[in-house]
Structure 1
């Protein structure tokens, strides 16, 4: 609440100043500020902002499209459903740099080569957008975030004089995420589970600028009216390089292969010594069912564009939450047989097309799909041949 109050106070003070100072002087500067990725999930992909500085008029303010109010009613539900309002805020460059220092994240400045008219056009756009009736927007991670908003401002204010000269990387959105999450395998696994087929679309030149680093690279190569868009580059803070000791890390694929192997061993022991593997299967079906419920929610009940058409729902089946407690009871019923047959065939087909689907599935899901295929036909055999 204290942070929100300070943010509001800062906004009110800036708004009063902006009403008095509507134009920038000839010696004013506008810079793109890029903050390097951090260690926390919210900072994994970096951050972008615009710094407007006019020393003649005592103006120095950072415009930031990446802020939101934690005290919003139903904050977490709105966040999950993609209905949370983000907003444009104004603050001091020292706040941004100090926050980056605290998290050991480098801060880069690219001073833009603009005419006075272009600076004032960009500044007027920001002033208009920070008004209470304009400052809120529906955030979308790929298509409408704190970085794409700045890209759009450049294109709107500079028009046809702006040329993005850097070629597109030709990567999918998912591949870009994989690059940033390479050292965070569990976060990568979780994000891959909930992001659907749209994430495997190859990003265009404009679309790949959803990442702060990519916007920085494209701005560096861009021209404005035939001249380089960037006049000067500067590092406001350079993060310390930390050397991490190499050691064994348990990866998601290690865990899922362990689950698969244990499941097969328990099934073999069932035939040899009558080992009861019911609890193991109930837990596995229940957990994957919960994952399926989350996938279903994000697909059908949220506004997120990247979570639709998620093929993971074929193995992380939402109804497994219920079936986990019904499938393994004795005596087996006819619908048990039908379920085992249908689920087994679906998993078998998914196994066969695992690497050729329109959506790239995480490799750690493969052992689970393999086990579900084996277990479905194994249970089908028990019920049909052994009357278990």
Structure 2
């Protein structure tokens, strides 16, 4: 009898050790990649690493795969219909590509049970099926980071409890943290985002940014009944490189450029008063650019499905009206006729400048001087007309 009990105990111990060994051979990690220099890489990246040393597997599941060669990519991107997909690559390739790019990679090994790891593997394999791998990308609400977070949570027996986020932060605040030093990229993004991007967001929404997810994961716990365990077992830097210097972009910042434009507007206005004639080609340039930019803003406001772009108060300044009216404006300028457009524009732009501080939207620093440029241009037209008719 004693021999039977001893044999059963040894068998149980052997089985336990086998299960533990199997658990130790499988690791699931959250991979966070440092920002790159391209606009689509400014915010970093998140992926999942699945290691099974017993089976010689080491894969990275990446929800951030897309192709610029997709038909009508630019149009679909602006409209908010960009499709991303789940890709799977060997870890060695993933690590090498980020090392070559000059982006460090942080690995957070997750504290999952064997059952949770197996379920996660099944979910990832199901997601990778051709009919499931493509999804409609949404920068703030459904991206490579939120997809990785959500599928991890789906496999956990319990609930992941994250720490409180940073109070008062908005989507635009977080975007600005990553566009610092990239003024032209920041300008383009600011021009597209509306007032909704300035509303404070909670901790979960802040996790759209990879490094906010990394910080939250490091402090999170898994709660299942009375059991509480840390979400992350271990964190380390698996790729430690210095970021590559970005290629030299345009040497002048947007703010400097808009002040140069203001100087040009003043100079052209002075020349027009001296020669007593409208330089209509300047109108063609200035109001044409305003109208073209307005077409983009109007398209985003009216047709794009991107989040937060539909509430953009900038449409009051940049809209298609100047482009539509431009032929009439040029014709009247050539004929030396009075144009009520400029009187109306002065009043309109003055009103826009007055209400700017009261609108619940943070405008880029270039918006005010740009509005002043357009106002000064119209003012020079009005002044020239009255000089011509009061000789």
**2:258 alignment partner, one of 252, 256, 264:** 256
The answer to which of 372-381 and 189-198 deviates more is 372-381
Q: Distance in 2 between matches of 1:330 and 1:385?
A: 16
> Which residue is equivalent to 2:72?
74
Q: Residues 51 and 60 of structure 1 are in contact (CA less than 8 Å); yes or no, is this contact kept in structure 2?
A: yes
Q: Distance in 2 between matches of 1:94 and 1:62?
A: 9
> Which residue is equivalent to 2:10?
none
> Which residue is equivalent to 1:93?
91
**1:293 alignment partner, one of 275, 295, 303:** 295
**1:158 alignment partner, one of 140, 145, 156:** 156
For residue 387 of structure 1, report the CA deviation from its aligned partner: 4.7
> Which residue is equivalent to 1:15?
none
Q: Distance in 1 between matches of 2:216 and 2:302?
A: 35
Structure 1: which 5+ residue stretches go unaligned?
Answer: 1-23
> Which residue is equivalent to 1:63?
61
Q: What do the CA deviations read for 1:141-195 (whole angstroms, capped 9, x no partner)?
A: 1111000111222333336531002433421111111111111111111111122
Aligned residues: 361
Decide whether aligned partners of structure 1 residues 235 and 61 sit closer, same or farther in structure 2, where only a CA change above 3 A counts: same
For residue 277 of structure 1, report the CA deviation from its aligned partner: 3.4
> Which residue is equivalent to 1:233?
235
> Which residue is equivalent to 1:362?
364
Decide whether aligned partners of structure 1 residues 200 and 125 sit closer, same or farther in structure 2, where only a CA change above 3 A counts: same
What secondary structure does 2:116 align onto?
Answer: helix
Decide whether aligned partners of structure 1 residues 241 and 134 sit closer, same or farther in structure 2, where only a CA change above 3 A counts: closer
Q: Distance in 2 between matches of 1:276 and 1:363?
A: 30
Q: Residues 113 and 229 of structure 1 are in contact (CA less than 8 Å); yes or no, is this contact kept in structure 2?
A: yes
Q: Distance in 1 between matches of 2:72 and 2:171?
A: 29
Q: Distance in 1 between matches of 2:71 and 2:369?
A: 41
Decide whether aligned partners of structure 1 residues 378 and 154 sit closer, same or farther in structure 2, where only a CA change above 3 A counts: same
> Which residue is equivalent to 2:9?
none
Q: Distance in 1 between matches of 2:158 and 2:280?
A: 66
Q: Distance in 2 between matches of 1:69 and 1:253?
A: 33
Q: Residues 278 and 334 of structure 2 are in contact (CA less than 8 Å); yes or no, is this contact kept in structure 1?
A: no
**1:185 alignment partner, one of 161, 174, 183:** 183
For residue 324 of structure 1, report the CA deviation from its aligned partner: 3.2
For residue 266 of structure 1, report the CA deviation from its aligned partner: 2.2
> Which residue is equivalent to 1:26?
23
Q: What do the CA deviations read for 1:123-144 (whole angstroms, capped 9, x no partner)?
A: 2221221112211110011111
> Which residue is equivalent to 2:18?
none
> Which residue is equivalent to 1:131?
129
Q: Distance in 2 between matches of 1:183 and 1:231?
A: 35
Q: Residues 166 and 221 of structure 1 are in contact (CA less than 8 Å); yes or no, is this contact kept in structure 2?
A: no
Q: Residues 355 and 361 of structure 1 are in contact (CA less than 8 Å); yes or no, is this contact kept in structure 2?
A: no
What secondary structure does 1:265 align onto?
Answer: helix
For residue 47 of structure 1, report the CA deviation from its aligned partner: 0.5
Q: Distance in 2 between matches of 1:282 and 1:241?
A: 43
> Which residue is equivalent to 2:335?
331
TM-score (norm 1): 0.86
Q: Distance in 1 between matches of 2:168 and 2:154?
A: 25
Structure 2: which 5+ residue stretches go unaligned?
Answer: 1-20
What secondary structure does 2:51 align onto?
Answer: strand
For residue 319 of structure 1, report the CA deviation from its aligned partner: 2.6
The answer to which of 141-150 and 221-230 deviates more is 221-230
RMSD of the alignment, in Å?
A: 2.5
Could you say which structure has the larger radius of gyration?
Answer: 2
Q: Distance in 1 between matches of 2:306 and 2:389?
A: 46
Q: Residues 266 and 275 of structure 1 are in contact (CA less than 8 Å); yes or no, is this contact kept in structure 2?
A: no
Q: Residues 342 and 378 of structure 2 are in contact (CA less than 8 Å); yes or no, is this contact kept in structure 1?
A: yes
Asked if residue 306 in structure 1 is aligned to residue 277 in structure 2, the reply is no
Q: Distance in 2 between matches of 1:265 and 1:372?
A: 14
